Amino acid sequence: MESSNGINEKMLFTMMREVCNFFIRRDGIQRYEGEVTIHDQELSIEIPSPYVIIRGSHRNDGLYAVEEGRRLHPIIFEEGDVHPVDEVFVGRVWFSYPPQDFIALCREVSSFETAETAHTGVVSESFGSSSRSYAQGSNGRITWQEQYGGALRSYRTHMFEEVW
């Protein structure tokens, strides 16, 4: 599910929801509303941003990286389904501009999620007398929200446009 720039769009969107910040600009180019056609993973509208959030679609709602022009990076689900699929719908396409430091944090969180310590909860270990210290987070494991809550705080400090 990683895009060509190495970002896991699912994690990026999850983190955006966590901080209630979808990085929508406050200028006149926030979103497109109206009829949208998706054909061969291309949108029928101009895309000024590196990411889009589709809402109102019956089959393609979600965040997508923009590869070039109007082409969206395909997301392959575990079942083998590839999105976006061809569709015509009336809805909204939000233009998202997450900053590079947020994207870097997203990469770090993705690595944390796949690391062994994220699943075992072991914080420290010593071999003389075999002692271990375990995380004290929810269910004995530190979640990415607990681990990176401080780093995410700065993205929550303002009111942002709601994606609906």
Q: What is the pLDDT of residues 78-87, one digit of tens each?
A: 677 888 999 9
- Which residue segment(s) compose the domain that 144 sits in? 1-164
Q: What percent of the chain has a predicted confidence (pLDDT) above 90? A: 46
Tokens describing residue 164: 């609906």
Residue 91 one-letter amino acid: G
**pTM greater than 0.95 (yes/no):** no
Residue whose C-alpha is closest to residue 93's, from 135, 48, 138:
48
Which ranges of 1-123 would DSSP assign to H, the alpha helix? Answer: 9-19, 100-114, 116-120
Q: What is the DSSP letter of 66?
A: E
Residue whose C-alpha is closest to residue 11's, from 102, 86, 123, 82:
102
Q: Three-state DSSP class for 120?
A: helix
Q: What is the pLDDT of residues 103-135, one digit of tens each?
A: 999 999 988 887 755 455 555 656 655 555 555
Tell me the C-alpha distance between 73 and 21, whole Å: 22
Name the pairing type of β-strands 42-43 and 87-96. Answer: unpaired
Give how many domains the chain has, as a whole number: 1
